[in-house]
Amino acid sequence: MVLALDGGTPVRRHDFPAWPHHDDAEREALVRAVDQGQWWRVGGSEVTSFEAEFGAHHGGPVLAVTNGTHALELGLEILGLQPGDEVVVPAFTFISTSIAVQRAGGVPVPADVDPVTYCLDPAALDAVRTERTRVVVPVHMAGHVADLDAIGAWADRHGVTVFQDAAHAHGAVRSGRRIGDFGTLAAFSFQNGKLMTAGEGGALLLPSADGFDDAFARHSCGRPLGDLDYEHRSPSSNYRMTEFAAAVLRVQLGRLTAQTERREARWTTLAAALREIPGVIPQGRDPECEVHPHYMAMAALDPEAHPDVDRDLVVRALVAEGIPAFVNYPPVYRTAAHAALLGKALPDAAELAERNPVSEHLGARGLWLHHRVLLGTDADCADVAEAVAKVLAAVAGKRRPAR
């Protein structure tokens, strides 16, 4: 069978469900925000309403901000991170988890992830802890909630603070608890690809309402709510969300539960089909993770079954077959950004690779599909599996230069 990349017929000639999903509800919300006559959160009502609604859904008080990276930066500021303080981050995560630490003056310290869930491995934490470790940031990879019980117990033993990166985990539940029920700070993202979006946006979920006034001031150039005297309590930045973004997000939140249920059902179908393909290993699941919203449909190629397969070529071929596929994140320490703000050269790659074998494997052999694949039908999932099988059969031992 000839690959579409080589001029053959693609598996799919029609697209998957569009993302972002929108209809007249978003249009009406934007008109409502415009017509209120106040487009700034201090005078409008959309951001405040969204904070209350998102907080009720996730189990804690919420401060809406400009984006998920800023939510991480603001959270670290609230935690009092000082220059030189170390923050444990997963080696396998989007770079914002690392650069937020750097921009806050801290030192991100990569630790390996679990080979089944792709989340921060509690067993990897002791090896990276030093007397300067202040915070640990578990990332709920693709929506799978990390083992917060084990990570929290480790943090309690060593006087370390847990700060959840929940950018992928809207509506996720573990052990009967929502993200806010774990009693820590948590950062969310509403970037264009996320499970609910306004193009950009973020939120910081707080452990209790007691910290809201301080967080509000810090996200508003240090000015407390209701300030009329230009009282700037801290040298903070402007992380305020617009009324327009909040109006759209209120509608998006209303769709989240139904879309999550659909993704969960389609992932069961897709994962089963992928497991039938030799050497394809979908992201696994801890049974304690009760609701996994599947921001990404993730899998990795077994190097023993496919020792010569070029993962990047596989992804390019899948895209040509009509599948919205992407390569996995590289380990954070393999990016120039990881060390740039620290003013020093990258650590020895061989040493870090030895310490983070799972992250190395996922970065080199992993791929993911956009979650809109899971908003389709079982037949759509069958097309994905057919395309993966077709591509792997055709590209074994075949390499191409990057395009």
- Which candidate in 16, 50, 92, 94 is catalytic? 94
From CA 21, how far away is CA 351, in angstroms rounded? 44
State how far Cα 48 lies from the chain centre.
24
Catalytic residue selected from 147, 165, 310, 380: 165
- What gap in Å lies between CA 71 and CA 188, rounded to an integer? 7
Cα–Cα distance for residue pair 358/294, rounded to 1 Å: 20
H-run or E-run covering 276? none
CA dist list (Å): 51 to 63, 155, 162, 199: 6, 29, 22, 17
70, 134, 168, 294: which is the annotated catalytic residue?
168
* Residue 38: active-site member: no
Whether the ω angle into residue 303 lies within 30 degrees of 0, i.e. cis, is no
194 a catalytic residue: yes
Q: Identify whether 94 is a catalytic site residue.
A: yes
Residue in 41, 178, 223, 355 annotated catalytic: 223
DSSP string computed for 280-344: EEE----TTEEE---SEEEEEE-TTT-TT--HHHHHHHHHHTT--EEEPPPPGGGSHHHHHTTTS
Contact indicator for 145, 121 with CB cutoff of 8 Å: no
Distance, in Å, from the CA atom of 94 to the CA atom of 168, rounded to the nearest integer, reads 10
Kindly name the residue from 24, 229, 230, 344 that is annotated as catalytic: 230
Give the pairing of strands 161-165 and 133-136: parallel
Q: Look up 36 and say whether it is catalytic.
A: no
What are the φ and ψ backbone dihedral angles of 352, each rounded to 5 degrees? -70, -35
What phi, psi does 318 have (nearest 5°)?
-65, -40
Catalytic residue among 12, 181, 191, 262: 191
Rounded distance, CA 384 to CA 387, Å?
5
Q: 170, 194, 250, 266: which one is catalytic? A: 194
Of the candidates 129, 240, 334, 365, the residue annotated as catalytic is: 240
Helix ranges (H only) for 134-242 are 148-158, 212-219
**Whether 275 is catalytic:** no
Between CA 207 and CA 162 the distance in angstroms is 11
Which amino acid is it at 252? Answer: Q
Structure tokens at 401: 């230069």
The DSSP call for residue 162 is E
Cα separation, 167 vs 187, whole angstroms? 6
Active site residue 233: no
Please indicate whether residue 165 is annotated as part of the active site.
yes
Mode of pairing for the β-strands spanning 86-90 and 107-111: parallel
191 given a catalytic annotation: yes
Specify burial of residue 211 (Cβ count, 10 A radius: 0-12, 13-18, 19+).
Answer: middle
Name the residues annotated as catalytic: 94, 165, 168, 191, 194, 223, 230, 240
